[in-house]
Amino acid sequence: MPAASLDVRGLSAGYGPTVVLEDLSFSVPAGSRLSILGRNGMGKTTLLASLMGMTRRYGGEIRVDGSDIASAKSSERAMRGIGLVPQTRDIFRSLTVEENLLVGIKGRPRSVIEEAYEMFPRLKERRRNLGWQLSGGEQQMLSTARTILGRPSVLLLDEPLEGLAPVICDELMAAFSRLAASGEMTILLVEQRLESALDFADSVMILERGRIVWQGTSETLRSDHELVERYIGVGSLH
Ligand SMILES: Nc1ncnc2c1ncn2[C@@H]1O[C@H](COP(=O)(O)OP(=O)(O)OP(=O)(O)O)[C@@H](O)[C@H]1O
């Protein structure tokens, strides 16, 4: 599937009776990259989960290449091109790397696993290791690779760098940039590391208490220290 556009209009969502996201509207053109920023607990994970159909929706539209998927179940959204790499790095701990990847190929030939190994050569070295034997960085690579083997047209990455060593973060960000440059996916990245988020994205959205408080280009945000301090935190930019 080629990259798809994402248009969200008036999205309100939450958990049970709790409304977390209120009236969000934004657009991400096909093949572009959006970083989603904001302090802890502001609704970033809830937004990605809502795009994947894992929360309760109170209203609004979610259009992928123009067609509304807001009422579709998670499994149907996955079929229609949404792929989520969750913050929890969901992998099967008792399966090998290769078995985990086989789960992600969705009916494509087994040989496509090589695409994952090309993206993350470390996974090839570890292909017979069990999920629980992997480092945090390798688990993130596996979780990402498994989602990507399903060829999503809109990829959602939830804090992929959390808790990882700088050298692994660089490796992952380079892989995400290569994916974005391929033009095959539209990518939404939730990331606390501001420099990485700005380097990666064309545009940025800041959430505060479940609302969008700022949208603009990475360049504009990078040069506006007051804005960064107000919504993200003092000393976030180096
Ligand atoms: N399963 C849940 N049930 C009820 N409330 C929840 C649930 N998950 C998150 N929340 C609440 O929703 C709000 C937004 O949380 P969310 O995890 O989306 O924020 P976040 O910006 O991703 O934060 P972080 O950077 O810490 O991951 C918080 O007030 C949180 O307590």
* pLDDT score recorded for residue 236: 65
pLDDT, position 89:
82
| Res. 235 pLDDT band, cuts 50 70 90 | low
Mean pLDDT of 58-82: 95
Regarding the beta carbon of 15 and ligand 1, being less than 6 Å apart is answered: yes
Domain 6-86+152-231 has CATH 2.60.40.10: no
User: pLDDT band at residue 163, thresholds of 50, 70 and 90?
Assistant: confident
Quote the ipTM score.
Answer: 0.95
pLDDT at position 120, please? 92
Residues paired with residue 59 on neighbouring β-strands, in sequence order: 12
Q: Is 44 in the pocket of ligand 1 (CB under 6 A)?
A: yes
Q: Decide whether any atom of ligand 1 lies within 6 Å of the 41 Cβ.
A: yes
Flag whether pLDDT at 43 surpasses 90: yes
Residue percentage of the chain with pLDDT more than 90? 74
Determine the average pLDDT of the residues in 148-175.
91
State the maximum Cα–Cα separation within the chain, in Å, rounded to a whole number: 51
Q: What is the mean pLDDT of residues 103-128?
A: 90
CA distance 145 to 123: 9
Of 238 and 105, the structure prediction assigns the larger pLDDT to 105
Q: Ligand 1 pocket check: which of 39, 45, 58, 84 to mutate, most ligand atoms within 8 Å of Cβ?
A: 45
Q: Residue 90: what pLDDT?
A: 84
Q: What is the pLDDT of residue 213?
A: 95
pLDDT at position 7 is 98
pLDDT at 178 over 80: yes
User: Closest Cα partner for 54 from 88, 29, 92, 27?
Assistant: 88
Region 136-161 average pLDDT: 93
Confidence of residue 88 (pLDDT cuts 50, 70, 90): confident
Look at residues 32, 23, 25 and name the one whose alpha carbon lies nearest to residue 5.
32
- Shortest-distance Cα residue to atom 25 of ligand 1: 40
pLDDT exceeds cutoff 70 at 234: no
Buried b (16+ CB within 10 A) or exposed e, 178-196: ebbeeebbbbbbbbbbbeb
Displacement of CA 184 from its chain's centroid (Å): 15
Give me 211's structure tokens: 């609302």
Q: Enumerate the domain spans of the chain.
A: 6-86+152-231
Asked whether 61 and 11 are in contact (CB, 8 A), the reply is yes
Q: What is the pLDDT of residues 184-231, one digit of tens each?
A: 999 999 998 899 999 999 999 999 999 999 999 999 999 998 888 888
Cα of 121 to ligand 1 centre, how many Å?
Answer: 34
By most ligand atoms within 8 Å of CB, the mutation choice from 19, 20, 44, 52 for ligand 1 is 20
Residue-wise over 105-134: b if at least 16 C-beta within 10 A, else e? beeeeeeebeebbebbebbeebbeebbeeb
Residues 228, 84, 173: CA angle, nearest 5 degrees: 55
pLDDT digits (tens, 9 = 90+) for 129-143: 999 999 999 999 999
Average pLDDT over residues 13-41: 95
**Mean pLDDT in the chain?**
92
Q: How high is the pLDDT of residue 191?
A: 92
Rg (CA), the chain: 17
Residue nearest to atom 24 of ligand 1 (CA): 40
The tokens describing 45, both together, are 């994970």
